[in-house]
């Protein structure tokens, strides 16, 4: 149990260490839910971390740029969670797990999609989307 | 792989989808040859490898619908805002290195000097610098060399007073070759860094 706690703490440490993406652009009402807080980013360039939930209002939109060059555009009234993300070429460690519970997204995978497409999972309420080096559109309604 | 995907479906939250629920997934054109998606529910799975073909998911227990072509107009009518939010493609610059070294070739040095005023104009930059090698030498040696190349370029940009908002350097060694060659092949075009500027 202790060891498990330690592991959790260690992973939290890792998570807080380095941003995995930045907010590339935003329009109108957008927010980031991180733990118990909601952050309303002032300008683009806000750093994003695994566990972050991004959401847009009814006129809102945003785009995200991940460390491997993957991009995600999010339309109005959308909710997207960064479940997990890792881009560590020197360790050959890649993870790209996002879930869209509401709204629309356009996803274009970057280097992870070329190097390790099997590491990419995009979840929607009914199922999952896996890729082979890809650009796709999703709408949850 | 599919088993893993199926396990993960159980934890999807559908609580706050109010309208008649469902999800549409459409493959778009990425102007590359490698482009396909595999859409999976507990009921089954479809692969789409033709751009502008889409599938609908009604529920987690039903298989995705047979892929059909979606008109561009239908796509953008409802979701123009999503398409408008897509980041423009980055500006990409490739510079080449001497064999087994983190020194730029004379020509790449000249190219960089030529483009410096433009880079300063665009600054503060959001850049990703990725180093690569050719296939001579071991994979692990090349990974380290490619990281050195990326760092060397970052240092060069800093020395030349190019302001950077965010700079990320990575090395991919002999992965993603620019020119496909067998192992242990000397290839100047593969000894490079790619600078992605947004």
Q: What is the pLDDT of residues B60-91, one digit of tens each?
A: 999 999 999 998 777 877 789 999 999 998 99
Count how many Cα atoms sit within 13 Å of the Cα of residue B70 in the half-sphere of its side chain: 25
**pLDDT (tens digit per residue) in B94-120:** 999 999 999 999 999 999 999 999 999
Residues of A in contact with B87 (CB under 8 A): 24-25, 63, 65, 71, 73
Q: Using pLDDT thresholds of 50, 70 and 90, give the confidence band for residue B149.
A: very high
Q: What is the pLDDT of residue A133?
A: 63
Per DSSP bridges, beta strands A127-131 and A93-108 are unpaired
Query: Per-residue pLDDT for B1 more than 80?
Result: no
Beta bridge partners of B171: B131
Pick A90's closest partner by Cβ from B30, B126, B147. Answer: B147
Kindly state whether B72 is in contact with chain A, defined as any CB-CB distance less than 8 angstroms.
Answer: no
Q: Which two tokens stand for residue A36?
A: 């118990």
Contact between chains at A61 and B12 (C-beta distance less than 8 A): no
Query: Per-residue pLDDT for B17 more than 50?
Result: no
Kindly state whether B124 is in contact with chain A, defined as any CB-CB distance less than 8 angstroms.
Answer: no
Kindly state whether B112 is in contact with chain A, defined as any CB-CB distance less than 8 angstroms.
Answer: no
Give the C-alpha separation, B153 to B102, whole Å: 8
Least confident of A122-131, B73-82, B123-132, B170-179: B73-82
The highest-confidence range among A6-10, B150-154, B161-165, by mean pLDDT, is B150-154
Contact between chains at A24 and B34 (C-beta distance less than 8 A): no
Pick B37's closest partner by Cβ from A65, A126, A130. Answer: A130
Residues of B in contact with A140 (CB under 8 A): 17, 21-23
In tens digits, chain A (141 residues) has pLDDT values of 555 554 444 544 444 568 999 999 999 999 999 998 999 998 778 999 999 999 999 999 999 999 999 999 999 999 999 999 999 988 889 999 999 999 999 999 999 998 899 999 999 999 999 997 677 888 888
Q: Using pLDDT thresholds of 50, 70 and 90, give the confidence band for residue B30.
A: confident
Q: What is the pLDDT of residue B82?
A: 93
Q: What is the pLDDT of residue A3?
A: 52
Q: What percent of chain B has pLDDT over 90?
A: 77
Q: Using pLDDT thresholds of 50, 70 and 90, give the confidence band for residue B3.
A: very low
Q: What is the pLDDT of residue A17?
A: 65
Pick A126's closest partner by Cβ from B35, B54, B59. Answer: B59
Read off the pTM: 0.83
Q: What percent of chain B has pLDDT over 70?
A: 89
Q: Which two tokens stand for residue B160?
A: 């030349």
Q: Using pLDDT thresholds of 50, 70 and 90, give the confidence band for residue B190.
A: very high
Contact between chains at B172 and A125 (C-beta distance less than 8 A): no
Query: Per-residue pLDDT for B7 more than 50?
Result: no
User: A127, A129, A133, A139: which to substitute to probe chain B, counting the most B Cβ within 10 Å?
Assistant: A127
Contact between chains at A135 and B41 (C-beta distance less than 8 A): no
Pick A141's closest partner by Cβ from B21, B64, B81. Answer: B21
Contact between chains at A101 and B130 (C-beta distance less than 8 A): no
Q: Is B139 helix (H, G, I), strand (E, B) or coil?
A: helix
Residues of B in contact with A111 (CB under 8 A): 130, 172, 176
Give residues 149 to 188 of B whose Cβ lies within 8 Å of A: 165-166, 168, 170-173, 175-176
How distant is the Cα of B106 from the closest Cα of chain A, in angstroms?
29
Beta bridge partners of A30: A56
Q: What is the pLDDT of residue B27?
A: 92
Q: Extract long-range pairs of B154-157: CB within 8 Å, 24+ residues apart.
A: B154/B129, B156/B104, B156/B112, B157/B119, B157/B127
The edge-to-edge listing of strands for the beta sheet with B164-171 is: B91-96, B192-197, B125-131, B164-171
């Amino acid at each position: 149990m202790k060891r498990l706690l330690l592991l959790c703490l260690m992973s939290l440490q890792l998570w807080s260490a380095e941003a995995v993406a930045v907010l590339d652009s935003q329009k109108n009402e957008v927010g980031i839910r991180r733990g118990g807080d909601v952050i309303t980013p002032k300008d683009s360039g806000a750093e994003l971390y695994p566990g972050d939930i991004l959401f847009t209002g009814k006129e809102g939109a945003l785009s995200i740029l991940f460390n491997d060059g993957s991009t995600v555009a999010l339309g109005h009234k959308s909710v997207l969670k960064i479940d997990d993300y890792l881009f560590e070429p020197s360790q050959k460690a890649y993870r790209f797990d996002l879930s869209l519970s509401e709204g629309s997204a356009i996803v274009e995978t970057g280097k992870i999609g070329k190097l390790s497409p099997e590491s990419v999972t995009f979840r929607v309420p009914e199922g999952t989307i896996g890729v082979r080096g890809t650009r796709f559109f999703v709408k949850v309604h | 792989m599919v088993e893993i995907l199926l396990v993960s479906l159980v934890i999807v939250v559908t609580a706050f989808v109010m309208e008649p629920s469902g999800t549409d997934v459409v493959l778009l054109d990425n102007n590359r040859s490698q482009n396909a998606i595999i859409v999976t529910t507990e009921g089954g799975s479809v692969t789409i490898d033709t751009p502008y073909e889409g599938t609908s998911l009604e529920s987690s227990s039903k298989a995705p619908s047979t892929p059909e072509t979606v008109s561009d107009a239908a796509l953008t009518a409802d979701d123009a805002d999503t398409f408008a939010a897509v980041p423009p493609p980055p500006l990409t610059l490739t510079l080449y290195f001497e064999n087994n070294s983190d020194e730029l070739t004379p020509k790449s040095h000249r190219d960089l000097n030529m483009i410096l005023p433009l880079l300063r104009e665009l600054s503060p930059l959001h850049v990703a610098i990725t180093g690569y090698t050719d296939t001579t030498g071991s994979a692990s040696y090349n990974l380290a060399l490619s990281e050195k190349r990326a760092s060397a370029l970052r240092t060069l940009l800093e020395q030349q007073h190019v302001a950077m908002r965010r700079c990320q350097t990575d090395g991919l060694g002999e992965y993603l070759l620019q020119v496909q060659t067998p192992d242990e092949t000397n290839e100047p075009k593969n000894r490079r860094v790619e600078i992605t500027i947004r």
